[in-house]
Amino acid sequence: MTTNPKLGAMLHITPELGQTPTQTYQSFTHLVKKLDQMGFDNAWVTEHHFNDMSLTPSPLHLMGHFLAKTEQISIGSAALLVGFHNPIEVAESLAVLDALYPERVLCGFAKGGPFESQNSAFKADKDLSRARMIEAVPAMLELWQDQTESTHHGEHYQWNNVNLQPKCGLQNSRLFIASGDELTIEMAVKNNLGLMAAQFWDMAKIHQQISHYQKVAQTVFKQPKKPNMMAARGLFVHQNSAVAKQSALEHIRSFREQKAKHWGKTPGPMANLDPEEMLSRMLCGTPEEVAEKVYSLLQNGVTHLALNPLTQNHLVRCDQLHWFYEEVWGQFLNKDTKQRQSA
């Protein structure tokens, strides 16, 4: 099993019925404070644009706000769509956050999902956005690491003699790439970055990510290397398994119907999955059933687990995360402690 696994929560910033944006942000600020007090390791902010079901068009602002309101929890992006932004500005913003909150900033990078409205507005389809990301991330690492000036002449970005200030102490172990694309995973390996798996990816796809990472690492470093592997998972726990699964499916159906307008002609994730297949990719059921699924994830290489409670109700969301922490996660903390003590 993964040693010292990290537990986090996904913050999609979805409003309850009738909530204003201000009220929604206040609710999630309350949630992050509770996660910090409970002992969660991290919380993750998404990046979505023109989306009333995910009020996260500016994840770096939200990260700074949540970091300022908490004491210990790390806050990250899952994931920042760097292909939509100027990489120098992204590098500067992350460097400032890292200087303000050392060892508490995480960052994942992605090309972006199949959202026609945002791809059109930022003039970047998935192929262009991916190409920009593959170029931008290593270039940002150079900006952070070069002690004097950095020059970059690439296909999509160019700059001369940039001396980024402040310098960034953000360690590569706190950076992740969200992609199943082989070329992108190769970039992650060469730069010693972790990987991210989306909530709707099955275990076979996560295995494929990890396997390709290890294959490339063996070629590049001449030795085996496992990635930091962050996986998001939908969550609904109930003492009655049928109630948990029905509640999860109802939320997924409602959420997909509301988000369908953002996908345009492209079918959304899980569009062709039957209910049982969808549930197999979620943490739904009794505490015992959920614990078994979590154990399988950790056994198969997941090092960072990020939970997304399958509800729009703020109180239920808080209860789900608290219940998971008390009824499920404690088992793994205790097991990990015993394993390390006996090693």
Q: C-alpha angle with apex 162: 159 to 164, nearest 5 degrees?
A: 130
What is the reported pLDDT for 209?
A: 96
Residue 302 near residue 228, CB atoms below 8 Å:
no
Residue 83 near residue 129, CB atoms below 8 Å:
yes
What is the reported pLDDT for 62?
A: 98
Residue 286 near residue 212, CB atoms below 8 Å:
no
What is the reported pLDDT for 148?
A: 82
Phi, psi of 52 (to 5 degrees): -75, -5
Quick check: 339 pLDDT over 70? no
Give the amino acid at 7: L
Work out the average pLDDT over 213-219: 95
Quick check: 92 pLDDT over 70? yes
Residue 212 near residue 219, CB atoms below 8 Å:
no
Quick check: 139 pLDDT over 70? yes
What is the reported pLDDT for 333?
A: 66
Residue 1, domain member (yes or no): no
Number of domains the chain contains: 1
Looking at the DSSP bridge assignments, the partners of residue 7 are: 305
Least confident interval from 105-119, 272-286, 295-309: 105-119
- Nearest CA among 233, 251, 253, 261 for reference residue 51: 261
Residue 147: domain span: 6-342
Calpha distance 318→316 (Å, rounded): 5
User: Model confidence at 13, in pLDDT bands (50, 70, 90)?
Assistant: very high
Residue 250, domain member (yes or no): yes
Burial of 114 (0-12, 13-18, 19+ CB in 10 A): middle
Work out the average pLDDT over 296-317: 95
What is the reported pLDDT for 275?
A: 86
Quick check: 214 pLDDT over 80? yes
Cα–chain center distance at 201: 13
Token pair in block for residue 17: 């019925």
What is the reported pLDDT for 11?
A: 97
Token pair in block for residue 152: 């970059």
What is the reported pLDDT for 169?
A: 87
User: Model confidence at 256, in pLDDT bands (50, 70, 90)?
Assistant: confident
- Nearest CA among 229, 227, 96 for reference residue 169: 96
What is the reported pLDDT for 1?
A: 66
Calpha distance 150→306 (Å, rounded): 35
**pLDDT tens string 105-118:** 999 999 977 677 78
Residue 144 near residue 152, CB atoms below 8 Å:
no
Quick check: 94 pLDDT over 70? yes
Give the amino acid at 8: G
Quick check: 310 pLDDT over 90? yes
Residue 94, domain member (yes or no): yes
CATH number for the domain spanning 262: value is 3.20.20.30
Looking at the DSSP bridge assignments, the partners of residue 308 are: 234
What is the percentage of the chain residues whose pLDDT exceeds 90? Answer: 76
